[in-house]
Amino acid sequence: MVAFGKKLKARQIQEWQAYYINYKLMKKKVKQYAHQIEVGTLERRHVLKDFSRMLDNQIEKIVLFLLEQQGLLASKLAKLREQHDTLEQQPEISQITELREGYRVVGYDLLKLLYFVEMNAIGLRKILKKFDKRFRYRFTDYYVKSRANHPYSQLQQVFKHVGLGAVVGAVSRNLHELQDCQGSYLSIYDPPALPLQDPVVDSIKAAVDRLTHSTNFLNFMAQHALIMQEELPAPAEEQIDEERYHYVSLLLNLANTFLYMVNTYIIVPTADNYSMSLGAVATVCGIVIGAMAVAQVFSSVYFSAWSNRSYFRPLVFSSIVLFVGNAMYALAYDLNSLTMLLLGRLFCGFGSARAVNRRYISDCVPLKIRMQASAGFVSASALGMACGPALAGILQINFKIYKLTFNAMTLPGWVMAVAWLVYLIWLWFSFKEPSRDVEEKNSPHASDSETAEKNTLEKGLKQPLLITSEEQQEDDEDAEADGSEEVSQESRRPATSIASAYRLLTPSVKVQLLIYFMLKYAMEILLSESSVVTTYYFSWSTSTVAVFLACLGLTVLPVNIVVGSYISNMFEDRQILLASEIMVCVGILLSFHVIIPYSVPQYVCSGLIMFVSAEVLEGVNLSLLSRVMSSRLSRGTYNGGLLSTEAGTIARVIADATITMAGFLGQSQLLNITLLPSLLICVISIAATCFTYNSLY
């Protein structure tokens, strides 16, 4: 790995060298500021003022050059437009070919300009984050907000590439019109849009997608999935991704995610009745529901390791195990066996392939659509969470076929067994195993120097825009300071065990994993004991419980849309994080049954506050986690996604065990006893959040 300063110098367009951000100078300036503050020769406020002025000057230099180049491109396009208008009167094949080549030349000039903007945007982000780390001050928040929202903002030119969209549109539209469309009068603006065959247009589109980094909502949802990816992949990665990508295989992974979440929550409304029908107390439902999570603690590890070698075989194994597990769950009723019931749920947990689903998106989906695929992963999970209880509410029928009983308790098992069998057949015939040899292929060499230069430029544009891992920056600094290739390679190796992965966690990451543990614990308590609590206090039927749980699940996507598109633009992530923790705490406090008779409005409102706040908290927490977790946890068996999954799964196991143990004290005490640990963990997480971020900033 090469430090960013060296990469910037190596990838600069030589004739534009004077107009790039002076990253090396600014990095030295940050070190100089730190030394001056340490010896007491400079005050912090003078540092902030001086560094702001330096950044303003650098951005102004970049923007003025960018505007100059946009003007040159606009002038070239205007001349080409005149030629285009003339050709419309007297079309000639040779002149049309020449005109198309003219637009292609402008397209490659535009690619150079997009690459220029991208490299400067990376440099600005890195130097701002470096300043924040060195001085433990949220300077980035102040600087970006004060400059980006100003009516005369120059920062918008860099980060929002203002004005370049018109040039992109002009090049794309004219190249499209000059193609042989066999007499079609459609343009790029008419649906359905015709495919753009010209390679330069595809390259421009990929570059713009990279700069835009998708929408805030998709970005927020993708980070919610915590699908880790390297921020600086090799130049050939995009080509590898295209060869490994298979749309139907991606759909199969998302379908697996959806079905597994349905499988998790479909039994919640009926688990207490099922336990009692087998001679156990109602609160044994905690063990029945939690058995799946217990097995998932182990399955996440071996599925993550298995995905290093294959994606197809783990998914096949998962489907078979889930089919068997659901069949065992359904048969437990006729066999009158609580052991069979618990074994069935354990089998279902051993079939959890969520680690494979995450890994497939991270490794086999092209960068340009990885954000959408990650958001699809979260959406499939949310939809499954809502559909599970809703489906249980529908399955309120009772009949027998031979000696097999089909009722509200066994039908969830039978329905999911059939669903996994159908999924297995679809998987067997439609999934395409990504080739493991693609990465070893050599990238094609250009036939001449001009083509080689264009290919280099296009590959350069496929580097990611956002530098989000603080650990990655530390690695950069170490590599640059030591000049050691060996040290750099060592710093890039993935974790080889849970212990080594844990050692890579910074204090702030540990706090965020604690928050994740807390919210999963609180949500599991609310969902798993809902049937027992509502039956005891309100005499709710299974259908009523199912409707309540389905309504809670349906809030997930709307809440994420609001947070990702609006709230995250108005407040800092850490502010949303702390506010959400406090609201979860409020929801828990309102859920206690103290003196007044417990009512439906109190239970529903407190549950809704707790659940919605936990959903907001989960999204923001994982968004922060994905940005600060070490880049070494972006790959390998023991990756960041596995750590977060294990933290959440262990929380669910402990929550379900708490419900069962509290049940021995009687159903009248169940609610308050299970809420006490939730309240305690929530208060601890709030205190840890305040302490950690106050010490950092």
Beta bridge partners of 406: 399
Q: Residue holding tokens 């003219």?
A: 102
**What is the average pLDDT value for the chain, to the nearest integer?**
78
Angstrom distance (rounded) from CA 512 to CA 6:
33
pLDDT reported for residue 188: 45
Q: Which phi and psi (to 5°) does residue 400 adopt?
A: -130, 145
Reported as a pLDDT band with limits 50, 70 and 90, residue 270 is very high
What pLDDT, in 10s, does the model give residues 102-137? Answer: 888 888 888 888 888 888 888 888 888 788 777 766
Give CA angle at 46 (43, 49), nearest 5°: 155
Q: pLDDT higher for 140 or 361?
A: 361
Residue of 430, 459, 435 whose CA lies nearest to 445? 459
Q: pLDDT higher for 38 or 408?
A: 408
**Average pLDDT, integer, range 338-366:** 90
DSSP state of 438: G
Between 312-335 and 285-306, two packed helices, what is the crossing angle to 10 degrees?
A: 160
Q: pLDDT higher for 604 or 186?
A: 604
How buried is residue 450: exposed, middle or buried, by Cβ count under 10 Å (0-12/13-18/19+)? Answer: exposed
Q: pLDDT higher for 619 or 684?
A: 684
Task: Kindly report the three-state secondary structure assignment for every residue of 95-135.
Answer: HHHHHHHHHHHHHHHHHHHHHHHHHHHHHHHHHHHHHHHHH
Task: Kindly report the three-state secondary structure assignment for every residue of 16-50.
Answer: HHHHCCCHHHHHHHHHHHHHHHHHCCCCHHHHHHH
Per-residue pLDDT for 396 more than 60? yes
pLDDT reported for residue 653: 92
Between 44-89 and 93-135, two packed helices, what is the crossing angle to 10 degrees?
A: 170
**Average pLDDT, integer, range 393-422:** 93
Per-residue pLDDT for 489 more than 70? no
Answer yes or no: are the C-beta atoms of 248 and 618 closer than 8 Å: no
Taken in order of first residue, the domains within the chain and their CATH numbers are 3-185+196-228 (1.20.1050), 244-431+503-692 (1.20.1250.20)
Q: pLDDT higher for 659 or 205?
A: 659
Angstrom distance (rounded) from CA 516 to CA 625:
10
Q: Residue holding tokens 């699940």?
A: 553
Q: Which phi and psi (to 5°) does residue 511 adopt?
A: -65, -40
**Average pLDDT, integer, range 654-667:** 90
Q: pLDDT higher for 375 or 53?
A: 53
What pLDDT, in 10s, does the model give residues 620-652? Answer: 887 777 666 666 676 666 777 778 888 889 999
Least confident range from 22-26, 74-78, 161-165, 233-237: namely: 233-237
Q: CB within 8 A of 407, min separation 6: which ones?
A: 333, 397, 398, 399
Cα radius of gyration rounded to whole Å, the chain: 28
Reported as a pLDDT band with limits 50, 70 and 90, residue 452 is very low
Q: Which phi and psi (to 5°) does residue 399 adopt?
A: -160, 170
DSSP state of 62: H
pLDDT reported for residue 186: 42
Ordered DSSP codes for 558-580: HHHHHIIIIIHHHS-HHHHHHHH
Q: What are the tokens at 416?
A: 């999911």
**Average pLDDT, integer, range 17-32:** 86
Amino acid at 593: H
pLDDT reported for residue 439: 44
Per-residue pLDDT for 390 more than 70? yes
Angstrom distance (rounded) from CA 335 to CA 355:
34
CA 164 to chain centre: 28
pLDDT reported for residue 87: 77
Angstrom distance (rounded) from CA 532 to CA 346:
22
pLDDT reported for residue 164: 64
Amino acid at 278: L
pLDDT reported for residue 448: 43
Amino acid at 533: V
Q: Which phi and psi (to 5°) does residue 636 adopt?
A: 85, 175
pLDDT reported for residue 39: 78
Answer yes or no: are the C-beta atoms of 73 and 110 closer than 8 Å: yes
**Average pLDDT, integer, range 366-394:** 83
Angstrom distance (rounded) from CA 540 to CA 534:
6
Angstrom distance (rounded) from CA 503 to CA 615:
28
Return the percentage of the chain with pLDDT > 70, whole number: 73
Reported as a pLDDT band with limits 50, 70 and 90, residue 165 is low
What pLDDT, in 10s, does the model give residues 565-586? Answer: 677 767 777 788 899 999 999 9
**Averaging pLDDT over each range in 137-141, 486-490, 533-537, which range is the top one?**
533-537
Strand blocks (E) in 407-492: none
Answer yes or no: are the C-beta atoms of 667 and 283 closer than 8 Å: yes
**Average pLDDT, integer, range 509-532:** 91
